[in-house]
Structure 1
Amino acid sequence: MKKLILGSALMLAFSVSFVSCKEATDKAKEAAETVEDNAKEAADKVADETSKAAEEVKETATEMVDGIPSFDDAAVAEYVKTYDEYVSEYKEAAESKDMTAFAALGTKGQELATKSQEVMKNLSADDAKKLTEYLTAKSKELQEYATKMTN
Structure 2
Amino acid sequence: MKKVLLGAIALMFLSVISCKEATDKAQDAADKVEEAATEAKEEVKEAVTEVKEEVKEAVTEATDAVSFSNPAVQEYVKAYDAYIADYAKAIESKDATALSSLATKGQELATKAQEFTKDLTAEDAKKLGEYTTAAAKKLQELSAKLAQ
Measured on the aligned residues, the alpha-carbon RMSD in Å equals 1.6
Shift in Å, 1:65: 6.0
Q: Contact 1:72–1:127 (CA<8 Å) still a contact in 2?
A: yes
- 1:67 pairs, out of 62, 65, 68, with 62
Runs of 4+ in 1 over 3 A off after TM superposition: none
Q: Percent identity?
A: 54
Residues 97-145 of structure 1 deviation map (CA, whole Å, 9 limit, x = unaligned): 1111000000000000101111201110000000000000000000110
Residues 22-58 of structure 1 deviation map (CA, whole Å, 9 limit, x = unaligned): xxxxxxxxxxxxxxxxxxxxxxxxxxxxxxxxxxxxx
**Taking structure 2 as the reference length, what is the TM-score of the superposition?**
0.57
Match of 1:147 in 2: 144
Shift in Å, 1:95: 1.2
Q: Contact 1:94–1:102 (CA<8 Å) still a contact in 2?
A: yes
Instruction: Name the amino acid aligned to 1:114.
Output: T
**Taking structure 1 as the reference length, what is the TM-score of the superposition?**
0.56
Q: Which has the larger radius of gyration?
A: 1
Could you list the runs of 5+ residues in structure 2 that have no partner in the other structure?
1-57
Match of 1:86 in 2: 83
Q: For 1:46-65, what aligned pairs fall within 5 Å after superposition?
A: none
Instruction: Name the amino acid aligned to 1:83.
Output: Y
CA distance in 1, matches of 2:104, 2:59: 29
Q: For 1:12-51, what aligned pairs fall within 5 Å after superposition?
A: none
Between the two proteins, the alignment pairs up a number of residues equal to 89
Instruction: Name the amino acid aligned to 1:84.
Output: D
SS of 1:75 mapped into structure 2: helix
CA distance in 1, matches of 2:67, 2:100: 30
Shift in Å, 1:64: 8.4
Could you list the runs of 5+ residues in structure 1 that have no partner in the other structure?
1-62
Match of 1:77 in 2: 74
